[in-house]
């Protein structure tokens, strides 16, 4: 009964109950502050038990504590990774986004979906790529400077592409801006 009332008031997850302002629960018709406190306390206790169980399972699987450093990594994800034999920061750094979120292939005219280790989680391909980059930074496979240089190269390539398009549109007789500048200095 209480669950139905909470759901009808828009509470869809236990996390919402655990971390919402107490007054929001107490403002529901039929609930007072004491009831709201009890509901919130039970929600927090449930989440704490769940986290403890996941952490124990993670340890049993031999998943390294280091993976907690990765932004967006949850204990549930770490358990799933451990079940797929991805247990260390280096194991995770060796993953591609496809390994984590899955991919699709065309085979015999059919599109086939392949699941990744973290397919069951609300994780986008970009988020997965960012997590893998964090792991690669942590194990020293790449450095921050490498990422900055890569961004600069991408920006330069975009500029060259834009200049090339402008030159094509101007016609074959057009002189690129860089050549025109060097002629003036001679």
Q: What is the largest CA-CA distance in the chain?
A: 86
Mean pLDDT of the chain: 83
Q: Confidence band (pLDDT; 50, 70, 90) for 166?
A: very low
pLDDT at 176: 46
d(CA 115, CA 120): 9
Give the count of beta carbons closer than 10 Å to the beta carbon of residue 77: 23
Q: What domains lie within the chain, and their CATH numbers? A: 1-61 (1.10.150), 62-142 (1.10.150), 147-185 (no CATH)
Residue 6 is predicted with a pLDDT of: 83
Alpha-carbon distance values, 89 to 30, 48, 143, 146 (Å): 50, 25, 15, 19
Residue 8's pLDDT is what?
Answer: 82
pLDDT band at 160, cuts 50/70/90? low
Kindly report whether the global pTM for this prediction surpasses the value 0.85.
no
Express each pLDDT in 17-43 by its tens digit: 888 888 888 888 888 888 889 888 999
**Predicted local confidence at residue 126, as pLDDT:** 94
22, 52, 24: which is closest to 40 by C-alpha? 22
Q: What is the mean pLDDT of residues 154-178?
A: 50
Tens digit of each residue's pLDDT (9 = 90 or more) over 91-150 = 999 999 999 999 999 988 999 999 999 999 999 999 999 999 999 999 999 888 877 765
């Amino acid at each position: 009964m209480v669950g139905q009332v909470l759901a009808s008031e828009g509470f869809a997850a236990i996390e919402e109950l655990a971390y919402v302002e107490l007054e929001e629960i107490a403002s529901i018709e039929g609930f007072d502050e004491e009831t709201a406190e009890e509901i919130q306390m039970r929600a927090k206790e449930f989440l704490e038990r769940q986290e403890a169980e996941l952490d124990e399972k993670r340890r049993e699987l031999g998943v390294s504590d280091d993976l907690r450093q990765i932004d967006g990594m949850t204990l549930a994800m770490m358990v799933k990774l451990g079940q797929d034999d991805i247990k260390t920061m280096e194991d995770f750094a060796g993953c591609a986004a496809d390994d984590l979120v899955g991919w699709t292939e065309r085979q015999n005219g059919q599109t086939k979906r392949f699941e990744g280790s973290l397919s069951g989680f609300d994780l986008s391909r970009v988020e997965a790529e960012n997590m893998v980059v964090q792991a690669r930074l942590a194990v020293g496979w790449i450095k921050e400077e490498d990422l900055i240089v890569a961004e600069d190269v991408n920006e330069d390539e975009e500029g060259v592409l834009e200049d090339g398009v402008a030159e094509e549109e101007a016609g074959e007789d057009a002189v690129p801006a860089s050549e025109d500048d060097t002629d003036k200095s001679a």
